[in-house]
Amino acid sequence: MKTKSFAFRVDASQEIGYGHIMRCLTMANELLNLSCKSFFICTKLDKNLFSQIRAMGHEVFEISKGHNHEFESEIDYISTQKIIDSLNIDWLILDHYLIDHEWEERFLISGLKIMVIDDLANRKHLCNILLDCNLGKTPENYHQLVPAKSRVLCGAKYSIVRNEFLLARSQSLRIRSNKKELRNILINIGASDPMNLTEDVLKKLCSNKYIKQFSISVILSSISPHLDSISSAVSNSGLTVKIFHDVKSMSNILLEQDLVIGSVGVSAWERCVMGVPSISLIAANNQLDGAIALHNSGATIVIDQSFNNNFSLHDAIDFYMNKKNLVSASKLSAKLVDGNGIKRIIGLIV
């Protein structure tokens, strides 16, 4: 049987963020385990992850930005087409907010199968499969945006989460079922954290009335634009803070945490798989709908005032100081995401 090949058209930078590229990498690594080849087609932007992608065994093809260093659909299509024509590709997987049906149509006409990963539901697509793993999304959100024959996969059932979190799930849930108190808190806003929410959270934690009972950890990335400022804030906090740099095994760190203060992007699904209670912030505009759904599920408390004025960081910590609330949030989050989403998706394209 012929080994299938996949091309991912996706970009990453401090401005764009790294959630798109990370979920594509998760898919590519799972495909590699099935002896499938994956190629990444990416715009050459500052602070990209090309070296990391290559280190995982995938080839990267770089394309240039359009005139005036802005995305231009026609130039992007032509650049991508040249690369696709040189490869024997079965599926083109798109995870890019600036690509729509006009770009996609010409590849679809050529006979190439297309999967679109989206979470905005704000533009039309021409594809074989559309994937939106945001909690609360349904095929109805895309009813008028994709052809009737397109297969639409929606909801947390299809969350793209690395296998390491599924492997740690049973152990994590067992630990949390016997949790007696809130002690270990991790701050993990994301690799880019453009608004420097990490430092803001750290400073607010310093004034919490329970702070002496907590052991605080922070995850930092070498690509963060605020690395020096956050490191300085840690030094000036007067607290003993454990800092993790460029983490390789996130699941092992999560096993040690009672609570995570983080964003509602890809990492939120990772926490859910392992049943880790959380306090969540919105680190990007596209996260609002998912944040509302997660908050309403009881799996997390979102403290972003763009839609919720009922909880501050201190209120949320007060809530989790109650053991019953900590255990309940763990059970609710684990119920949302079982960690098998990636297998469900791969099963449809291999």
Binned at pLDDT 50, 70 and 90, residue 288 comes out as confident
Question: Higher pLDDT residue, 271 or 239?
Answer: 271
Q: pLDDT tens across 232-259, in order?
A: 988 888 888 999 988 989 999 999 999 9
Structure tokens at 317: 């910590």
CA distance 230 to 213: 22
pLDDT tens profile 150-191: 999 999 999 999 999 999 999 999 999 988 899 999 999 987
Q: Kindly report, residue by residue over 112-164, the tens digit of the pLDDT.
A: 999 999 999 999 999 999 999 999 899 999 999 999 999 999 999 999 999 99
Contact 173, 255 (CB under 8 A): no
Region of poorest pLDDT, from 115-119, 263-267, 293-297 = 263-267
Reported as a single tens digit per residue, the pLDDT across 204-232 is 999 999 999 999 999 988 888 888 899 89
Sequence-ordered list of residues with C-beta below 8 angstroms from that of 299, at least 6 positions apart, any chain: 272, 277, 278, 329, 332, 333, 336
State the sign of the Cα–Cα–Cα–Cα dihedral 22, 23, 24, 30.
positive
Phi/psi zone of residue 215: left (φ > 0), alpha (ψ -120 to 50 degrees), beta? Answer: beta
Residue 202: closest CA among 256, 261, 270: 261
Backbone angles phi, psi at 99, to 5 degrees: -105, 135
Residue 69: predicted pLDDT: 75
Q: Where residue 286 falls among pLDDT bands split at 50, 70, 90?
A: confident
Q: Set out the domains of the chain in order of their start, with CATH numbers.
A: 5-154 (3.40.50.11190), 163-336 (3.40.50.2000)
Residue 262 to residue 112: CA distance in whole angstroms: 38
Instruction: Give the global pTM.
Output: 0.93
Query: What's the pLDDT at 309?
Result: 65
For 175, 273, 297, 335, the CA distances from 331, given in Å and listed in that order, are 12, 10, 11, 6
Selection from 229, 227, 174, 167 nearest residue 203 by Cα: 229
Task: Find the mean pLDDT for residues 340-344.
Answer: 97
Instruction: Count other C-beta atoms under 10 Å from residue 127's C-beta.
Output: 25
pLDDT of residue 304: 74
Angle between helix axes 73-85 and 101-109 (nearest 10 degrees) is 30
| pLDDT(347) > 90 | yes
Q: How far apart are CA 141 and CA 122, in angstroms?
A: 9
